Amino acid sequence: MKCYFCDKETDMVDIEYLIGQNHLSCMLENAGLSHLKKEAVMTKDRFHLEQEIMDCWGVTDDVQTIIDNCEDMTEDQLMNSLIGIRELYDLKFRTLFNTFEGLIPSMKNCQCKEV
């Protein structure tokens, strides 16, 4: 597939950069909103990082929900549920890692006290 806006191939691009068949950055630029993506990355701080870590802990609750209800599921439903959780948490962990990477430059200048 090719992005409607930039005509580049989108088959080998991370899903988080796509909306449908198009690049998010291309869509924002076309709409005159390219500054939003940069601002969203720049405004994250350690509190966002902590929240994203806590969101990722939800995987244990979600897996437990499936365990508690798997008797009522067909094998196909069970597999679809597990694949959905895997995809969801793959995105959550990518978001978490991107936030962490974005905070690394500010952490280098931190004058943190060692305990």
Token pair of 115 as six digits: 């305990």
pLDDT at 111 over 70: no
Sign for the CA dihedral angle at 107, 48, 83, 12 comes to negative
Residue 3 burial by Cβ neighbours in a 10 Å radius (0-12, 13-18, 19+): buried
Per-position b or e across 25-59, b if 16+ CB within 10 A of its CB: bbbbeeeeeeeeeeeeeeebeeeeeeebeeeeeee
Query: What is the pLDDT at residue 39?
Result: 46
- Over residues 57-69, the pLDDT tens digits come to 899 999 999 999 9
- Over residues 23-57, the pLDDT tens digits come to 556 655 666 554 445 445 457 888 888 999 999 98
Tell me the pTM. Answer: 0.55
